Amino acid sequence: MPSPLSPSHTGIAAGLLAFLVWGLLPMYWKALAAVPPMELLCHRIVWSLVFLALLVTLRRGWSGVLHAMRSRRDVLLLMVSSMLVSGNWFLYIWAVNNGHVVESSLGYYINPLVNVLLGFLVFRDRLRRVQTVAILLATAGVLNMVWHFGRAPWLALALAVSFGLYGLVRKVAAVESINGLFFETLVLTLPAGGYLWLREAEGLGALGHLGWSTDLLLAGAGVVTATPLVLFAFAARRLRLATVGVLQYLAPTGMFLLGVFVYREPFSPAHMTTFLLIWAGVALYTADGLRSLRPSHGGLPRRG
């Protein structure tokens, strides 16, 4: 029997906390609804850089950051990933503060299936039959939205695809997660800082003008951005892929529950049909992942 401080227990605790933070993050951005989404995004970038610089210093990781900067290939890839992640962050903040928390959760339910599809298209990964069915079910859910509302859930699709492409680029770049995120925020800080300076020069800046609570929340945007990523990296090194795959759905579930039961966003029978189709696809995908990791001769699979 594993001890209370076994790697699996600490990994599960870190994973649960990471996905819980991500699932409750709409509450944080709602508390900053008075700040325009672009300005909020820029504060998120600048304060993330400050917090990540502190983390890198505490971890004595500057050599890893400098090593990543020596590779022209990795620098170019991280510049692309910085554009993708900033676009994803902006869409998410805008969605939350414009009453689209439920649709945002739909995007993050779809995201793992988008990852499978990107693997097939880019790396020529072979699609298993169950994975194909899962993708078809998600597609049916999207088509159901088109049929009932005359439009695709573009916001959900944009969130899923942008984050999927971000993950794809980061998979190709041989850079450790925290070091890579530091470089991404470093690339974005110059335009973000310039935008914040212009807002302040025009007398429109939020920092220092909307009360101390807003100032604290803006500064804390870096903490709520980087902390779950650090916790996730800690968990991923200690848990099986299947366990992480199950835990990842806690975040969109938290968002979904907030959107429906706390923020009372519209949720019609047509929405329910779409979610049921996508949940079915997600369940198949997860079950297939668990089955593929099952050892062939009994017992528990070994972790490296």
Locate 157 and state its tokens. Answer: 């699709």
Alpha-carbon gap, residue 90 to 162, rounded angstroms: 11
pLDDT in tens, the chain (304 residues): 445 556 678 888 988 999 999 999 999 999 999 999 999 999 999 999 999 999 999 988 898 888 878 889 999 999 999 999 999 999 999 999 999 999 999 999 999 889 889 988 888 888 889 989 999 999 999 999 999 888 889 999 999 999 999 989 988 887 888 888 899 999 999 999 999 999 999 999 999 888 999 999 999 999 999 899 888 878 877 777 667 778 889 999 999 999 999 999 999 999 999 999 999 999 998 888 777 666 544 443 333 3
**90 half-sphere exposure, CB direction, 13 A CA radius:** 13
What predicted TM-score, i.e. pTM, was given to this entire model? 0.88
Residue type, 3: S
Residue type, 39: E
Alpha-carbon gap, residue 101 to 257, rounded angstroms: 9
Which tens digit of pLDDT belongs to each residue from 39-84? 999 999 999 999 999 999 998 889 888 887 888 999 999 999 999 9
Alpha-carbon gap, residue 296 to 240, rounded angstroms: 16
211: left (phi > 0), else alpha (psi -120 to 50), else beta?
left
Alpha-carbon gap, residue 193 to 199, rounded angstroms: 10
* Residue 267, H or E segment: none
Q: Are 255 and 105 in contact (CB under 8 A)?
A: yes
Alpha-carbon gap, residue 104 to 59, rounded angstroms: 33
Q: Match 């100032």 to its residue by tokens.
A: 215
Q: Are 259 and 102 in contact (CB under 8 A)?
A: yes
Residue type, 59: R
Q: Are 192 and 45 in contact (CB under 8 A)?
A: yes
- The number of residues making up the chain comes to 304
Q: 240-260: b or e for each residue (b if 16 or more CB lie within 10 Å)?
A: bebbbbebbbbbbbbbbebbb
Locate 295 and state its tokens. Answer: 């050892």
